[in-house]
Structure 1
């Protein structure tokens, strides 16, 4: 069970970022519409050190604030190896996670790939101090993409359809060539013997996109919430055999702050959040608009009817 982007983040700047983020430099936030109680329960919401996770932290945090909780934030904590122990200890009370990645972190032997299997395995594998609530439909995982023209020409909808597309070249990070869920799975799981591999080491970034649009390669591994997918009208091939482990967004909460009220608020958010929403939010924050994560989160919550 692999997710290269999350692995890169997991080793980046651990010591420096952790020292800053866990030193107690947090900010508070609340929305109108809360209970107005003078004894609000406090919740500290943390995030990993990349934009999408910061947006998710704001979404879950602002939903709690709107329901009367006193919410503060510790954004950009850094690596999973830093923020997960903080969650276990209660230095941070809530972290938005990705189901497959956190499962492989807490259980190195995990083999589950489908959404239901991953969630079930995660519930068993988490330490007793951490609770997982409902996962969202929204997911940020490896995805195989083709141009709209190529999809139309070869009637492509799923990964398995590539078998009838003639000789094709797949672009991905170098490790995809040997990863169990990479090239080997395309051959063993989907029976694709018509593929060659081209390593492009930018995690589905500009160089990979250029190669795909130029038809240097016909298939590209691009993370599913990358704005370039929508911007270039790429077609993401479905993965009915679960080659790639599910990476659904899932809120994790320290058990001391877990309650039916917290669960109800977070589950309402997860029930509304889709991969398409994440794509749009990422584009808004990282694209030309450069919207601040808290503003983008508030706008989404309003549009979803979760806050006023």
Structure 2
């Protein structure tokens, strides 16, 4: 049957109106674009890709803005509304916001951090499986000879020891104040350019203790011949990964998605992914996508 011209025009208008309604509804579901920021470290860029990818799977429109600079720079970007979300470390962020804070355990750090956040910023769940604290190390020969297995064992003799400090690369940076160990005042502190130089100095006996600014798994082989001292009492302040975001930037469903990510992320996962990006030149977005798929996120 051939429709009259007036009915054909009406039919076309209805099709256009229906299509516009569908697009409108789709945009309403996605809402405003969520911009996830990142500092300059590999870890920060990786976390941004993980968070952006996870949120995109809720239907959100997301983008990543990398290379925002230092902690002060990306906090300014959050404050200005240039970004909505960024990955952080709990202890380092607390130290930056409150230089007088003395809290060390994950629970206490979390509470103190929530109180210290500027108006308009909030955090979601910390990833309990991530432990990015600095590690105190001794040569295995020394640790065995002196029967030292924990930082608490070492504390009574710290004032007799020279400690070397070396950075673990590609992690979100720590404020210098966190390169310290509670109740352990070393006689002297020497900086080293990297973990390998620190390891050699320990094995040669030029220093008696070492402090790596993050988990050694990021730099394989960095603790060969060394013993990592356990720290169940948190002489070194807790450092867990967590998202920092603008209040109201995410609805409950998307906050829950980030909490699922926090429940799955581990220190070993982060170290493995950082090495893939740094050593194998893998794309951060692809590494993040694989991890999300592997964890059904």
Please give the TM-score of this superposition, normalised by the length of structure 2. 0.76
Query: Cα offset for 1:141?
Result: 2.6
Describe how 1:239-258 pairs up with structure 2 within 5 A: 239-258=231-250
SS at match of 1:240: coil
Could you tell me which runs of 5 or more consecutive residues in structure 2 were left unpaired when the two chains were aligned: 1-24, 167-175
Question: 1:185 is matched with which residue: 183, 186, 191?
Answer: 183
Measure the CA separation in 2 of the matches of 1:184 and 1:269. 31
Partner residue, 1:301: 292
Deviation at 1:253, TM superposition (A): 1.2
Unaligned stretches of 5+ residues in structure 1? 1-35, 188-194
| RMSD of aligned residue pairs (Cα, Å) | 3.0
Q: Deviations over 1:105-129 (max 9, x none)?
A: 2223322111111100111111231
1:102-251 equivalences in 2 (<5 Å) = 102-137=93-128, 138-147=130-139, 150-151=142-143, 155-162=147-154, 169-172=162-165, 182=180, 185-187=183-185, 196-202=187-193, 204-226=194-216, 227-228=218-219, 232-233=223-224, 234-251=226-243
Aligned equivalents of 1:151, 1:37: Cα separation in 2? 62
CA distance 1:147–1:62, shift in 2 (3 Å) = farther
- What is the rounded CA distance, in whole Å, between the counterparts of 2:91 and 2:203 in structure 1? 30
Give the deviation of 1:205 after TM superposition. Answer: 3.3
Superposition deviation, residue 148 in structure 1: 5.0
Which stretch shifts more, 267-276 or 155-164? Answer: 155-164
TM superposition shift of 1:43: 0.7
Once the two structures are overlaid, the 10-residue window that deviates more, 71-80 or 102-111, is: 102-111
Q: Is the partner of 1:257 in helix, strand or coil?
A: coil
Structure 2 distance, partners of 1:243, 1:134, is: 23
Deviation by residue 1:12-69 (Cα, 9 ceiling, x = unmatched): xxxxxxxxxxxxxxxxxxxxxxxx9444132100011111111111111111112211
Distance 2:178 2:215 in 1: 22
**How many aligned positions are there?**
259
1:262 matches 2:260: no
Name the larger-Rg structure. Answer: 2
Alignment partners' CA distance in 2, 1:120 and 1:103: 10
Structure 1: distance between partners of 2:274 and 2:116: 30
- Structure 1 residue ranges, 4+ long, deviating more than 6 angstroms after superposition: 163-167
Q: Would you say the 8 A contact 1:54–1:293 is kept in 2?
A: yes
In the alignment, the residues of structure 1 paired with residue 181 and residue 81 of structure 2 have an alpha-carbon distance, to the nearest angstrom, of 40
Give the aligned partner of residue 60 of structure 1. 51
1:82-122 CA distance string (max 9 Å, x none): 11122123210001011112112222332211111110011
Equivalent position to 2:273, from 270, 281, 287 = 281
